[in-house]
């Protein structure tokens, strides 16, 4: 009996190891990758979305844009082609939530600095105040790195429509004035297909951690 077990000992060990490997491979094959939702207008708080698109259930994407950054360069979607990016809306004279948001976006910048897949995009909601010179001064003070993070200004109507019709993230001020907005703390995560994949409170540390985790999940979704 002992000689029988001795004879098949090596075979048993090899069989056990192969079984473990096969089970591990099957587990990985069957395990689904965590996915982020694709956010469309009908799934967003209606106060943040222009009424003309609130019914839209799918195929929503960020519209083409043409704005100017802190260095005086024209910025379009081509600058974000095949990139994951985080967007927000701010203004340089804001004394409330903007300093916190900018600080937190700066922390994100540090962590994606060497990541060629991820960029940042901040839109001013007061372009009449935030000229290129003003944005440059602000960017210099806040440690903005131009290759990773664009602060953009431009036509107020275009910025308003981006906020309400593309990013679905900013409330109308309700006073009947054209293209006026209430500032928002939202950070938006946008994928390489220009679809919104998540919203995060840019003033809260735990939300920034979630954003960073979701960036990783989104990046992994592009890996075969």
Binding site residues for Cu cation, as ranges?
A: 94, 98, 183
Binding-site residue set: 94, 98, 183
Which residue blocks in the chain are alpha helix, DSSP H? 2-7, 9-30, 98-112, 132-142, 156-161, 205-220
**Whole-number Å distance between alpha carbons of 146 and 137:** 13
Residue whose C-alpha is closest to residue 76's, from 22, 150, 163: 150
- The answer to whether residues 89 and 184 touch, using CB atoms and an 8 Å cutoff, is yes
Q: What's the half-sphere exposure (Cβ side, CA atoms, 13 Å) at 134?
A: 14
Taking the alpha carbons at both ends of the chain, their separation in whole angstroms is 51
* Strand order across the 84-90 sheet: 74-76, 66-69, 149-153, 118-124, 84-90, 186-190, 196-201
Burial 156-195 (b: 16+ CB within 10 A, else e): bebbbbbbbbbbbbbebeeeeeebebebbbbbbbbbbebb
**Whole-number Å distance between alpha carbons of 58 and 39:** 8
- The answer to whether residues 202 and 104 touch, using CB atoms and an 8 Å cutoff, is yes
């Amino acid at each position: 009996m002992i000689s029988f077990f001795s004879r098949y000992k090596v075979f048993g060990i090899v069989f056990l190891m192969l079984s473990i490997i096969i089970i591990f491979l099957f587990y990985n094959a069957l395990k689904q990758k965590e996915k982020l939702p694709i956010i469309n207008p009908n799934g967003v708080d209606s106060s943040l979305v222009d009424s003309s698109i609130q019914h839209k259930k799918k195929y929503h994407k960020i519209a083409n844009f043409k704005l100017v950054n802190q260095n005086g360069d024209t910025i379009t979607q081509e600058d974000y082609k095949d990139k994951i990016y985080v967007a927000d809306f701010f203004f340089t004279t804001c004394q409330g939530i903007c300093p916190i948001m900018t600080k937190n976006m700066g922390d994100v910048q540090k962590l994606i600095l060497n990541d060629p897949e991820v960029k940042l995009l901040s839109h001013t909601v007061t372009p009449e105040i935030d000229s290129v010179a003003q944005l440059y001064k602000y960017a210099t003070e806040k440690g903005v790195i131009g290759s990773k993070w664009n602060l953009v200004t431009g036509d107020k109507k275009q910025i308003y429509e981006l906020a309400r019709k593309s990013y679905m993230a900013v409330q109308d001020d309700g006073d009947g004035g054209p293209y006026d907005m209430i500032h928002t703390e939202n950070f938006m995560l946008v994928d390489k297909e220009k679809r919104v994949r998540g919203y995060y409170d840019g003033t809260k540390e735990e939300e920034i951690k979630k954003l960073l985790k979701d960036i990783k999940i989104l990046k992994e979704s592009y890996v075969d």
